[in-house]
Amino acid sequence: MFVRFARLAGALAAGLFAVGAAAQQPKQFTAADYAHSEKFLGPTLNPLVYHSVERPTWLEDGRFWYRDVSAEGTQFVVVNPAAGVKGPAFDHAKLAVGLAEATGKPVNAHKLAITGLELADGDKTVTVTVARSRYKCDLSGAGTCVAVKGGAPAAPGVGRGGRPEAVTSPDKSKAAFIRNWNLWIRDVATGNETQLTTDGVENYGYATDNAGWTHSNRAILAWSADSKKIATFQQDQRKTGEMYLVPVVVGHPKLQVLKYPLTGDENVTMIERVIIDVDSRKVLRLKAPPDQHRSTLCDDVACGEGWPDTQWSGDGKTLAFVSTSRDHKQEWFKIADATTGDVREVMSETVATFYESGNGRVNWKYLPESNELLWFSERDNWGQLYLYDLTSGKLKSQVTHGDGNVTEVLRVDQKTRTLWFVGVGKEQGRDPYYRQFYKIGLDGKGLTLLSPENADHTITLSQDGKYFVDAHSTPEAPGAAVVRAAADGKVVLPVATTDISKLAAAGWVPDVPFTVKGRDGSTDLYGMLWKPATFDAAKKYPIINYVYPGPQTGSCGNRSFAATRGDRQALAELGFIVVCIDGMGTPGRTKKFHEAYFGDLGDNTIPDQVAGMQQLAAKYPWIDLQQAGIWGHSGGGNATAAAMFHYPDFFKVGIAESGNHDNRVYEDDWAEKWSGLVVKNADGTSNYDSQANQNYAKNLKGRLLLMHGTMDDNVPPNETLLLVDALIKANKDFDLIMIPNVPHGYGVAGPYVMRRRWDYFVRYLQGGEPPKEYQMKPQAPNPEAAGTED
C-alpha cells in the first residue's frame, strides 16, 4: 500500500512538475505576429486615408491649391472661394507627358511628385517644382514643358529637414544664400550670382545657422517688403567650444568638428546685427552690442520658418527686433533706423523663470503704421496679447483676456483694428489642446469664435485675409475641410471630407483620449491610449508609457486625426496597452503648469506619468501595473532612464534612445532656458546635479536598454556613454546598442531600432520570446527622433 502510494505521489509530483515547466515556457512570438503589427505602421495605413486636405497653398489671385489623394492616385485641385468653385488645377495626363519629355524619365499622371505650383495665362501655363527643378509647361497645346533656367526659387540647395537653404525675396526675383561664410544673392531668372559681403570668415560668417544642435547652410535673414534690403547678422563662434564625432570606417577616420557651446560655458555664440542694401552691396552695422544667439521662443535664433524675431516696417525704413538674455528671463524690444543704424530700446519684459513669445509661434507684431507694438505675455498666467505705444514704450491696453492661450497670430489689419489668432483652452468643456480660430478687435472687444466644431482645427489664412481653410478633426475620427469667411466664420465652400473606409477595413483602431489627475491630485492631465485590435477585457495587459517630457513640447502631440502616431498601435498589437500623458511642465496650458519643474529637469514629468498610470490601472482592471514599461527618444530617452532610476520598483523595463542624460554636456540654449544658468557651489555641487542621470544609476533594478547613434550631432553620443560609465561603476546589468554612423534620427537603421524595441518589451515585459532577427520593412523617418529641441 505504501509502495503504491509512493508511486502515485511520485507520478503526481512529476505531473505537477511538467505542468509547472509548461507554464514557465515563454510565449513564442512568430514572424507572422510581427508582420501583423507592421500593418499598423505608417507606410501601410497612411495611404489608406483619402481626401484629407493638408498644407493648402494660397495663390496671389485669391485661390488655393492642394494635393488630393484617393484610391485612384493623386490629383492637384484648385479652389476659388470667391466664385465658389473647385476643380483640377491642370490636365494631369498632358502635364505628365510634358514632364516625361522634358526630364527623359517616365512620369505617372496619378503620382505627380509636385512640391510647388504656379498658374498663369488663365491657367494655360503651369510652372511646377519637381524635386529641386522647375518646369514651365504650356498646356494650351500639346503640353510642352521646358526647364526654367535657374531652377527652383529656393536653389541652390535644400538643407536638413527639407528646408530651403536660400531665402527668396518677396518679389521672387532673388534668392539669398551662404557661400564660404559670406552672403550672396542669385537672380532667379538668369542664375547670375552676386556676393554681398566680403569679410565673412570661418566661424565668423554671415546669416549662418550653426550653433549647438543646429548646423546647416540655411541662411537666416529677413527681406524688406520691397526686396531691396536684407536684415541678418554676422555670427561670432570664434571662441565657442567644439564637439567631436568620429565615424566608423576601415582605415583612418575623418574627425568631424562642430561648434557646440555647452551649458555653463563662458563663451557662447553671439550675433552682430547688420542691414545690407542689395543694389549697392553696402553693409550697415546696427549701433548695438552683440546679441545672444537666442530666440524669444525656441532654442535657436531662427525659430521655425524665416527669422520671426526680426520684422521690417512696410516702407523698409525701420527694422524691429527683440534681444533675448542668455537665460531667457529678459526681453528687449528695439527699433533700428535702416539708414543710420541707430537703435532705440522701446520696452522690455523680465520674468522669474523663462519668457516665451507664444505657444508654438512667435507672436509679437511690429505695427509702425499705427505706432504700436502687439506684444505677447503670460503675465496673467495665460498667453495674452497686449498693445504698447512705440513712442513712449508704455502699455496702452490688454487685447485678449480670460482663460486660454493665444498660440498663433495670423493677421493684424491695422485699418479695421482687427486681428485673427489661433488659440487653445478658451472654450469650456473641450479638450484644452484643441486649436480654435478667433478674431477680436485691437480694443479687446468683439471676440468671435470662427471655428465652431468641437475638434482640433488646422487653419490656413488667405494672403488677403478674406478666407481661411479650416481642416478639423479629432484623434478618434477624421473630419472635413471647408473654406470659411474670415469676417464671420460662415462656410463659403466645402472642400473635402476625409474618407477612412479602407483604413477601417484594414483593422485600424482609433486612439482613446483620456483624462487623469496629476501629481497634485487636482490638475487635469490629458493623454491617449492604444489597445490591441483583438483586445479582450478579461485579459491582463502589460502597460508601456511613451514619454517626452518637454518642456518645449509634450508626449502626445497635437489632437488632429492621424492614421498612426509612431509605432504606438503597432506595439499595442503585440499584446500591450500603450499610453502617452502630457504631464505638468509641458506647454499649451497655464504658465504655472508649464513651469512646474523649472530648475529641476530631473523631474521629467515622471511623477505625473506614474500618477496617471496608477489611475488608469485602478479604472481598467485589464491593465497589469506590475508589468510597467517606458520608452522615449532624445528628451524621452533622458526621461526613461530617470524613470528607471527614480521609480525602480514601478518601472520594470525601459528603453532610452539617444537621451540627453546630463544637460551640462548638451547645447547651451536649451537647458539654460528651462533650468537657468549653471550655479556652482563651494562644495563642488551645482544646481544641475539633480538632472544628471548618471548620479542615480546605482538605483537601477529593472531591464534598461540604451541606444545611441555614433554620429549624433544633436545629442552627442557622449551623453549615453556617461551613463554607461556610471552603470558599470555601480556594477549594474544593462543593455547597450551603439549604432555606427547614424545621426539623431537613426536614418536607415530605424527599422532595426524599432524591431529591437519590440523584442525588448516582448521578452522582458511580457515574458515572451520574439521571432529571431525579424526583418522589418523600411519606414519613414521616426517622428520621435526629431530631437530634444523639436
Domain harbouring 588, CATH code: 3.40.50.1820
Report the chain's C-alpha Rg in angstroms.
Answer: 28
**What's the pLDDT tens digit per position in 283-341?**
999 999 999 999 999 888 888 778 999 999 999 999 999 999 999 999 999 999 999 99
Q: Are 200 and 181 in contact (CB under 8 A)?
A: yes
Same domain flag for 100 and 227: no
Same domain flag for 116 and 171: no
Q: What angle do CA 249, 255, 257 make, to 5 degrees?
A: 145
Residue 436 lies in a domain: no
Full residue range of the structural domain in which residue 91 is found: 57-147
Please compute the mean of the pLDDT values over residues 635-656 and round it to a whole number.
Answer: 98
Least confident piece of the model among 43-57, 297-311, 551-565, 768-782: 768-782
Predicted local distance difference test score (pLDDT) of residue 788? 36
Residue 443 lies in a domain: no
Q: Are 232 and 220 in contact (CB under 8 A)?
A: yes
**What's the pLDDT tens digit per position in 183-238?**
999 998 888 999 999 999 999 999 998 767 777 788 999 999 999 999 999 999 99
Predicted local distance difference test score (pLDDT) of residue 144? 92
**What's the pLDDT tens digit per position in 114-148?**
888 999 999 999 999 988 788 999 998 878 999 98
Same domain flag for 204 and 287: yes
| CA-wise closest residue to 647 among 515, 514, 519, 785 | 519
Residue 477: count other Cβ atoms within 10 Å of its Cβ: 12
Same domain flag for 584 and 688: yes
pLDDT above 70 covers what percent of the chain? 93
Predicted local distance difference test score (pLDDT) of residue 24? 64
Residue 232 lies in a domain: yes
Same domain flag for 141 and 280: no
pLDDT at 276 over 60: yes
pLDDT category, 164, cuts 50, 70, 90?
low
pLDDT at 6 over 70: no
Same domain flag for 738 and 769: yes
- Residues 497, 471: Cα–Cα separation, whole Å: 9
Least confident piece of the model among 154-158, 182-186, 385-389: 154-158
Please compute the mean of the pLDDT values over residues 527-555 and round it to a whole number.
Answer: 97
- Bridge-partner residues for 560, per DSSP? none
- Residues 631, 579: Cα–Cα separation, whole Å: 11
Same domain flag for 82 and 207: no
Predicted local distance difference test score (pLDDT) of residue 19? 42
Please compute the mean of the pLDDT values over residues 756-762 and round it to a whole number.
Answer: 98
- Residues 680, 678: Cα–Cα separation, whole Å: 6
Predicted local distance difference test score (pLDDT) of residue 131? 81
| CA-wise closest residue to 585 among 633, 519, 507, 652 | 519
Please compute the mean of the pLDDT values over residues 156-174 and round it to a whole number.
Answer: 69
Residue 43 lies in a domain: no
Cβ neighbours for 132, distance < 8 A, ≥ 6 positions apart: 151, 152, 154, 155, 157, 158
Q: E-assigned strands of 685-773? A: 703-709, 735-739
Instruction: Look up residue 342 and give its three cell numbers.
Output: 541707430
CATH number for the domain including 281? Answer: 2.140.10.30
Predicted local distance difference test score (pLDDT) of residue 634? 97
Residue 95 lies in a domain: yes
User: Cα–chain-centroid distance for residue 732?
Assistant: 35
Task: Tell me whether the omega of the peptide bond preceding residue 551 falls within 30 degrees of 0, making it cis.
Answer: yes
- Residues 555, 570: Cα–Cα separation, whole Å: 17
Query: Amino acid identity of 787?
Result: G
Q: What angle do CA 589, 590, 596 make, to 5 degrees?
A: 95
Same domain flag for 222 and 263: yes
Predicted local distance difference test score (pLDDT) of residue 17? 41
Among 283, 312, 341, which residue terminates a domain?
A: 341
**What's the pLDDT tens digit per position in 388-415?**
999 999 999 999 999 999 999 999 999 9
Please compute the mean of the pLDDT values over residues 772-783 and round it to a whole number.
Answer: 76
**What's the pLDDT tens digit per position in 650-698?**
999 999 999 999 999 999 999 999 999 999 999 989 999 999 999 999 9
Phi first, then psi, for residue 500 (nearest 5°) are -120, 25
Predicted local distance difference test score (pLDDT) of residue 300? 85
Q: Are 609 and 547 in contact (CB under 8 A)?
A: yes
Predicted local distance difference test score (pLDDT) of residue 322? 98
Predicted local distance difference test score (pLDDT) of residue 777? 86
SS3 704: strand
Residue 736 lies in a domain: yes
Instruction: Look up residue 306 and give its three cell numbers.
Output: 524665416
Residue 349 lies in a domain: no
Same domain flag for 241 and 118: no
Same domain flag for 652 and 560: yes
Among 317, 341, 365, which residue terminates a domain?
A: 341
Same domain flag for 142 and 172: no
Among 104, 120, 147, which residue terminates a domain?
A: 147
- Residues 15, 20: Cα–Cα separation, whole Å: 9
**What's the pLDDT tens digit per position in 371-381?**
999 999 999 99
pTM: 0.92
pLDDT category, 359, cuts 50, 70, 90?
confident
Residue 348 lies in a domain: no
Cβ neighbours for 222, distance < 8 A, ≥ 6 positions apart: 230, 231, 232, 306, 307, 310, 311, 312, 319
Q: How many domains does the chain have?
A: 3
Predicted local distance difference test score (pLDDT) of residue 90? 94
pLDDT category, 783, cuts 50, 70, 90?
very low
Same domain flag for 102 and 181: no
**What's the pLDDT tens digit per position in 231-262?**
999 999 999 999 999 999 999 999 999 999 99
Q: Specify whether the backbone of 77 is left (phi greater than 0), alpha (psi in -120 to 50) or beta.
A: beta
Predicted local distance difference test score (pLDDT) of residue 151? 53
Q: Are 663 and 691 in contact (CB under 8 A)?
A: yes
214-216 and 125-130: which strand pairing? unpaired
**What's the pLDDT tens digit per position in 584-625?**
999 999 999 999 999 999 999 999 999 999 999 999 999 999
Predicted local distance difference test score (pLDDT) of residue 609? 98
Mean pLDDT of the chain: 92
pLDDT category, 16, cuts 50, 70, 90?
very low
Task: Tell me whether the omega of the peptide bond preceding residue 542 falls within 30 degrees of 0, making it cis.
Answer: no
